[in-house]
Structure 1
Amino acid sequence: MSTTMGTTRVFNVHARNWSTQASSSDSSGSEKNDDNEKKLTVSSYWGVTPPSITKADGSAWKWNCFRPWEAYQADTSIDVKKHHTPVTWNDKFAYWIVQACKYPAHLYFQRKHIHHAVLLETVAAVPGMVGGMLLHTKSLRRFEQSGGWIKALLEEAENERMHLMTFIDIYRPKWHERALVFAVQGVFFNAYFLAYLASPKLAHRITGYLEEEAVSSYTEFLNDLENGAMEDIPAPAIAIDYWCLPQNSTLKDVVRVIRADEAHHRDINHFASDIHCQGHELKEYPAPIGYH
Structure 2
Amino acid sequence: MSRGSTTTVRSVARHMGPRLSSTVTGNGSLIGAMRASTGLVGYEVAWWVNSYPVFGGRNASTMTLGEKEQKDQKEAVGGGGTTAATSDGQRGKEVASYWGVPPSRLTKEDGSEWKWKCFRPWETYQADLSIDLKKHHVPKTFLDKFAYWTVKSLRLPTDIFFQRRYGCRAMMLETVAAVPGMVGGMLLHCKSLRRFEPSGGWIKALLEEAENERMHLMTFMEVAKPKWYERALVFAVQGVFFNAYFVAYLVSPKLAHRITGYLEEEAIHSYTEFLKELDNGNIENVKAPAIAIDYWRLPADSTLRDVVMVVRADEAHHRDVNHFASDIHYQGLELKDSPAPIGYH
Superposition TM-score tier, normalisation by shorter sequence: 0.7 to 0.9
2:277 counterpart of 1:215: no
Q: 1:246 to 1:143 in 2, by over 3 A?
A: same
Deviating above 4 A after TM superposition, structure 1's stretches of 4 or more consecutive aligned residues are 21-24
Amino acid at match of 1:50: P
| 1:170 CA displacement | 1.6
| 1:20 CA displacement | 2.5
Amino acid at match of 2:157: P
Q: 1:68 to 1:23 in 2, by over 3 A?
A: closer
Determine which of 253, 256, 277 is the counterpart of 2:309: 256
Alignment of 1:28-39 (within 5 A): 33=92, 36-37=93-94
Q: Report if aligned partners of 1:18, 1:50 keep a CA contact under 8 Å in 2.
A: no
| 1:227 CA displacement | 2.1
Q: Which residue of structure 1 lines up, in the alignment, with residue 96 of structure 2?
A: 41
Partners of 2:141 and 2:83 in 1: CA distance: 65
Determine which of 218, 222, 246 is the counterpart of 2:299: 246
Partners of 2:172 and 2:186 in 1: CA distance: 22
Deviates more, 1:237-246 or 1:46-55: 46-55
Provide the TM-score with structure 1 as the length reference.
Answer: 0.88
Q: Which residue of structure 1 lines up, in the alignment, with residue 82 of structure 2?
A: 20
Q: Report if aligned partners of 1:211, 1:262 keep a CA contact under 8 Å in 2.
A: yes
Q: Report if aligned partners of 2:80, 2:100 keep a CA contact under 8 Å in 1.
A: no
| 1:18 CA displacement | 8.8
Partners of 2:221 and 2:142 in 1: CA distance: 38
2:123 counterpart of 1:73: no
Alignment of 1:96-175 (within 5 A): 96-175=149-228
Q: Which residue of structure 1 lines up, in the alignment, with residue 321 of structure 2?
A: 268
Amino acid at match of 1:272: A
CA RMSD of aligned residues (A): 1.7
| 1:51 CA displacement | 2.6
Superimposed CA distance per residue, residues 179-230 of structure 1 (whole angstroms, 9 cap, x where no aligned partner): 1000000000000000000000000000000000000000000111122221
Determine which of 105, 110, 119 is the counterpart of 1:57: 110
| 1:52 CA displacement | 1.2
Partners of 2:142 and 2:168 in 1: CA distance: 34
Provide the TM-score with structure 2 as the length reference.
Answer: 0.74
Tell me which of the two structures has the higher relative contact order, counting C-alpha pairs closer than 8 angstroms and 6 or more residues apart: 1
Count matched residues: 265
2:157 counterpart of 1:95: no
Partners of 2:219 and 2:268 in 1: CA distance: 17
Q: Report if aligned partners of 2:199, 2:336 keep a CA contact under 8 Å in 1.
A: yes
Q: Which protein has the larger Cα radius of gyration, Structure 1 or Structure 2?
A: 2
DSSP 3-state at the match of 1:20: strand
Q: Which residue of structure 1 lines up, in the alignment, with residue 73 of structure 2?
A: none
Q: Which runs of 5+ in 1 are unaligned?
A: 1-16
Superimposed CA distance per residue, residues 109-133 of structure 1 (whole angstroms, 9 cap, x where no aligned partner): 1100001000000000000000000
Amino acid at match of 1:241: D
2:233 counterpart of 1:180: yes
Deviates more, 1:168-177 or 1:193-202: 168-177
Q: 1:68 to 1:18 in 2, by over 3 A?
A: farther
Q: Which runs of 5+ in 2 are unaligned?
A: 1-78
Amino acid at match of 1:224: E
Amino acid at match of 1:74: A
Q: 1:248 to 1:19 in 2, by over 3 A?
A: farther
Partners of 2:155 and 2:131 in 1: CA distance: 24
| 1:19 CA displacement | 5.9
Q: Which residue of structure 1 lines up, in the alignment, with residue 337 of structure 2?
A: 284
Amino acid at match of 2:313: A
Task: Report % sequence identity.
Answer: 72
| 1:241 CA displacement | 0.1
| 1:263 CA displacement | 0.2
Q: Report if aligned partners of 1:218, 1:255 keep a CA contact under 8 Å in 2.
A: yes
DSSP 3-state at the match of 2:149: helix
Amino acid at match of 1:276: H
